[in-house]
Amino acid sequence: MKFLKIIGFGLAFLFQVDFAHSAELAAFNGDVAKLKITSFSDYMPFGYLNEKGRSDDRLGLILKKSLSAYLPKIGYKPAFEIFETTDDALHGMHMGSINLFVGAYYSSHIYDDFEFVFPSVLNNPVHLMMLPRRLNEVHNVEDLKNLKGVYSAKEYFADYVMQKFDVLGLKKVDSAEEAYKALIMGKADYILGSYYTNYISVVQSGLKNYIAFSAKPLWNMPMFLALSKMTPNLKIIKQRFHKLLENEDFKKAVLQDVRDFVEEVERNSVGVVPPTYINESFRKQNALTPADEMQTQEKDDN
């Protein structure tokens, strides 16, 4: 599957830690403490409202399986909490009613006053998206300055990436769907956005064959586990999480969570019909060809 080949390429930047230096997790024999965990409420796959979940299990979280399996090994029982908005989740962290936020960006203002645990748990790379026949026009960021670019207002970017967007003069649109339509209708030359969020959205929208992703990210956005500074025993918790994040088995479990999520999306999206603005003429001129697929694979393997 094409995406898994790209994931294989992405291992170099998906994790910001060295698999060769793995911390061993000693067996935990003490009492297991409850830890309240949240994330975004509207940023799939990292955190989202799971409408199909039980009332006590509505937080969709790409790392839920790995965190549920490994937190008891360091003395904690996860309690996943969902909020109607991400702002409410961040407020809960500031107030101390939530202990851990999954997916925070370091040195970004909305996560001010959180206690970050190093190293990062995931990387959220920012990629270029264009029509397949135009992707070869761009060789570096400088090439984008004379083109019209857009990004989705519903994504969460690190502050330094937003500064890059300002330099390029990107226009903000209301949603990923609006960005894709602007690209396909010729109102935008390119889109910048999170690889995982947009790959999933493109697949679910039936646009996988009509929007091409750059083989490498323009920028990386490491995502961290961040603790509320009002959490009791903060220093001890931080030390335990640091050791967890350096554990090779945990890192492999995180990667497996990503793969499992994407595979499920791909299975559930088989046969999805693209939007009506994808007409026959556009299909013939812009759809990815077997040669494009081969070229992408070769780039990913390098």
Q: What distance in Å separates the CA atoms of residue 241 and residue 71, rounded to the nearest whole number?
A: 9
pLDDT in tens, 60-102: 999 999 999 999 999 999 999 989 999 999 999 999 999 999 9
Q: What is the pLDDT of residue 9?
A: 38
CATH number of this structure's domain 14-123+221-266: 3.40.190.10
Domain extents for the chain? Answer: 14-123+221-266, 126-219+277-295
Two tokens at 169? 């003069």
pLDDT at 301 over 70: no
What digits encode the pLDDT tens for the residues 101-124?
A: 999 999 999 999 999 999 999 999
Rounded percentage of the chain residues whose pLDDT exceeds 70: 81
To which H or E segment does residue 301 belong? helix 290-301
| Mean local confidence (pLDDT), 194-218 | 96
Say which CATH class 126-219+277-295 falls into: alpha beta
DSSP 3-state of 94: helix
CATH fold match for the domains 14-123+221-266 and 126-219+277-295 = yes
* Residue 149 and residue 134 in contact, taking contact as beta carbons nearer than 8 Å: no
Instruction: Please name the residue that has the structure tokens 């990107």.
Output: 170
Q: How far is Cα 85 from Cα 151, in angstroms, rounded to an integer?
A: 20
In angstroms, rounded to a whole number, what is the distance separating the alpha carbons of residues 47 and 52? 14
